[in-house]
Chains A and B, each alone.
Chain A
Amino acid sequence: EVQLVESGGDLVQPGGSLRLSCAASGFTFSTYAMHWVRQAPGKGLEYVSGISNTGSRTYYVDSVMGRFTISRDNSKNTLYLQMGSLRAEDMAVYYCARDYWDYWGQGTLVTVSS
Chain B
Amino acid sequence: DVVMTQSPLSLAVTLGQPASISCKSSQSLVHSDGNTYLSWFQQRPGQSPRRLIYRASNRDSGVPDRFSGSGSGTDFTLKISRVEAEDVGVYYCMQATPWAWTFGQGTKVEIK
Q: Spell out A's residues near B (CB within 8 Å).
A: 35, 37, 44-47, 50, 57, 59, 95, 100-102, 104-107
CA of A47 to CA of B3, assembled, Å: 12
Report whether B106 and A45 are in contact in the complex, using a CB–CB cutoff of 8 Å: yes
Interchain nearest-CB distance for B61 vs A (Å): 9
Report whether B101 and A50 are in contact in the complex, using a CB–CB cutoff of 8 Å: yes
Name which of B17-25, B80-88, B92-100 contacts chain A: B92-100
Q: Spell out B's residues near A (CB within 8 Å).
A: 39, 41, 43, 48-51, 54, 60, 90, 92, 94, 96, 99-106
Cβ contacts under 8 Å, A47 to chain B: 94, 101-103
Report whether B103 and A44 are in contact in the complex, using a CB–CB cutoff of 8 Å: yes
16 cross-chain CB contacts under 8 A: A37-B49, A44-B92, A44-B105, A45-B43, A45-B49, A46-B103, A47-B94, A47-B102, A50-B101, A59-B99, A95-B49, A100-B54, A101-B39, A102-B51, A102-B54, A107-B48
Report whether B96 and A101 are in contact in the complex, using a CB–CB cutoff of 8 Å: yes
Cβ contacts under 8 Å, B54 to chain A: 100-102
Name 12 extra pairs, CB < 8 A, besides A101-B51, A101-B94.
Answer: A37-B103, A47-B94, A47-B101, A59-B101, A95-B49, A100-B54, A101-B39, A101-B41, A102-B54, A104-B49, A104-B50, A107-B48
Report whether B90 and A44 are in contact in the complex, using a CB–CB cutoff of 8 Å: yes
